[in-house]
Amino acid sequence: MATEFTRDQIAAIAALACLELDPAEVDLFARQLGEILAYAEQVQRADTTGVPPTASVVTRHAADRRDEVRPSLDRGTALESAPDPARDAGFFKVPRVLG
């Protein structure tokens, strides 16, 4: 895997991303992208023999708990505080944000 980028390659990538780069940025990004690919190549060479496949490396959080019905605020009480409630439908009306 090539880990060096030419100025033309960086210019082509910048054009695809609709970026205007000055010459110093082209050189900087060529070096940085090369370093990223070199590191990715190094990671690919790591021996993972005997390591089971992992779906996620994140530990479980409280937000991952099972959903369960619990007591909450009564719908009517919640709608009493709303500036423009749609009581029949059971929701809050809010001002339109997008045109």
Any domain includes 97? no
Does some domain include residue 22? yes
pLDDT, residue 9, reads: 94
Q: Which domain holds residue 16?
A: 7-44
- The answer to the question of residue 18 being in a domain is yes
85 phi, psi to nearest 5 deg: -80, 150
Residue 20 lies in a domain: yes
pLDDT at res. 43: 92
pLDDT at 64: 74
Residue 24 included in any domain? yes
pTM above 0.75, yes or no: no
Please, what is the angle between helix 23-44 and helix 7-16, to 10°?
90
Is 61 among the domain residues? Answer: no
Total number of domains in the chain = 1
pLDDT for the residue 72: 87
For residue 2, the model assigns a pLDDT of 56
Question: Residue 5: how many CB atoms within 10 A of its CB?
Answer: 20
Whether residue 30 is contained in a domain is answered as yes
Task: Tell whether 57 is covered by a domain.
Answer: no
Q: pLDDT 10s per residue in the chain (99 long)?
A: 457 899 999 999 999 999 999 999 999 999 999 999 999 999 999 999 998 888 777 777 777 778 888 898 887 788 777 777 777 777 777 778 886
The DSSP call for residue 47 is -
Residues 14, 56: Cα–Cα separation, whole Å: 33
